[in-house]
Amino acid sequence: MDMDPELSAVLDKLGVSQSAFPVDSIAEARAACEASFTEPHKAFMESSLPPADAYTLTDHTVLVDGGEITVRCLIPIVDDEEERFPVLVNLHGGGWSVGSTEMDDCVLRIRCVKYKLSIVNVEYRLAPEHPFPTPLNDCYDALRWTASNTSLLKADLGKGFIVGGESAGGNMSAVLAHIVRDDPFFEGRRLTGQFLCEPQRDICSCAGAIYPNRLKSKFQSLFELTGEPTLTEWMLTPFYAWYNAPASDPRFSPLLYPSHKGLPRAYIQAMGLDLLRDDALVYAEVLREAGVEVEIDLHPGVPHAFYYCFPFISAAAKVRDGADRGIEWLLRVNRD
């Protein structure tokens, strides 16, 4: 698959052929994520922000095992003060080790107002200081907090209760969809949708050896796309090491759950030049086989998370538009 010509021209102008994202230390990786992903995306999206009087923004503290986390809550402001909204719980990407709520802050403010959607943006604790399963457990606690604070959030979970995220955030969203399905705490307030953008799962090393034989041949992108910009094969090793999750644990590789039946409908995005592309495609296939409603968008010619680094190109706008359509689809069944 050829690279998107507009992206290729930008990379040529910058003299970039492979990612220069440093992973020699966690401090370098976090600084690079801020400079190369968060800041360009935020600077570009700020011009599209809705007026400040169209929503409220409040940070709340959530107590979790061993500490506390912050959730940034966005609530639309409408004329009818009694109106209640569906909820999206957002889990940012970053290999479980880098990134923050700032990565998606602007686009979430836009979607809060555009779709009359209450949003809980989760600042979970990061590896390696907090390895597996702490980031996942923090996000689970944020989901419980959301379900328990509908009045505060002006939320009606019957109108929609979605968990979603990009990359590692997509991974944890897929895992949480399984956990919530089976958790008595969520009886009567189950998730209604999962938004999985480039969902990251372990398809290398020993995990590939324990996947069902019928699926192993479908994982080709990791071997075909080892040197694409924004995410290279050599970058995965430290992120997996920092997270330090057992490869055979379904809370790390949700494809390994014995059953995918009864999960909420899923919208999935995949990038054609992403070495994790086949993670998304295979997971969509497995969900469909289990009777789960799935919509998937495959964006050709672009690598992992490129739209954070280069939000101004046409392909990035297509990813954002696709995500908007995905949210509309996830909400449609609850609003019709």
- The span from the CA of 325 to the CA of 172, in Å, is 22
**What is the reported pLDDT for 217?**
62
Hey, is 180 helix, strand or coil? Answer: helix
328-335: average pLDDT: 81
Strand ranges for 149-264 from DSSP E:
161-166, 193-197
The overall average pLDDT reported for the chain is: 91
Residue with tokens 């998606």: 104
Q: Is the peptide bond before 250 cis (omega within 30 degrees of 0)?
A: no
- The span from the CA of 48 to the CA of 109, in Å, is 10
- The span from the CA of 117 to the CA of 209, in Å, is 41
Domain architecture of the chain: domains with CATH: 5-335 (3.40.50.1820)
Q: Is the peptide bond before 128 cis (omega within 30 degrees of 0)?
A: yes
**What is the reported pLDDT for 203?**
41
284 Cβ contact partners less than 8 Å away, ≥ 6 residues apart: 266, 268, 294, 296
- The span from the CA of 71 to the CA of 58, in Å, is 8
Q: Are strands 67-76 and 118-123 parallel, antiparallel or unpaired?
A: antiparallel
- The span from the CA of 224 to the CA of 303, in Å, is 13
For the stretch 7-42, pLDDT in tens is 999 998 887 655 557 788 999 999 999 999 999 999
Instruction: Write the DSSP string, 20-64.
Output: ----SSHHHHHHHHIIIIIHHHHHHHGGGPPPGGGEEEEEEEEEE
Considering the entire predicted model, what is its pTM? 0.94
For the stretch 163-173, pLDDT in tens is 999 999 999 99
**What is the reported pLDDT for 206?**
37
228 pLDDT more than 90? no
Hey, is 292 helix, strand or coil? Answer: coil
- The span from the CA of 168 to the CA of 97, in Å, is 9
Instruction: Write the DSSP string, 52-113.
Output: GGGEEEEEEEEEETTEEEEEEEEEE--S-TT--B-EEEEE--STTTS--GGGGHHHHHHHHH
- The span from the CA of 97 to the CA of 180, in Å, is 24
Hey, is 268 helix, strand or coil? Answer: strand
Name the residue among 285, 250, 251 with its Cα closest to residue 270: 285
175-198: average pLDDT: 97
* Cβ-based neighbour number of residue 257 at 10 Å: 20
**The dihedral of CA 176, 69, 195, 249: what is its sign?**
negative
Cα 142-100-166 angle, rounded to 5 deg: 75
Residue with tokens 């555009």: 114
For the stretch 85-127, pLDDT in tens is 999 999 999 999 999 999 999 999 999 999 999 999 999 999 9
Name the residue among 155, 107, 77 with its Cα closest to residue 327: 107
Tokens matching residue 63: 């107590």
Q: What is the largest CA-CA distance in the chain?
A: 56
For the stretch 305-318, pLDDT in tens is 999 999 999 999 99
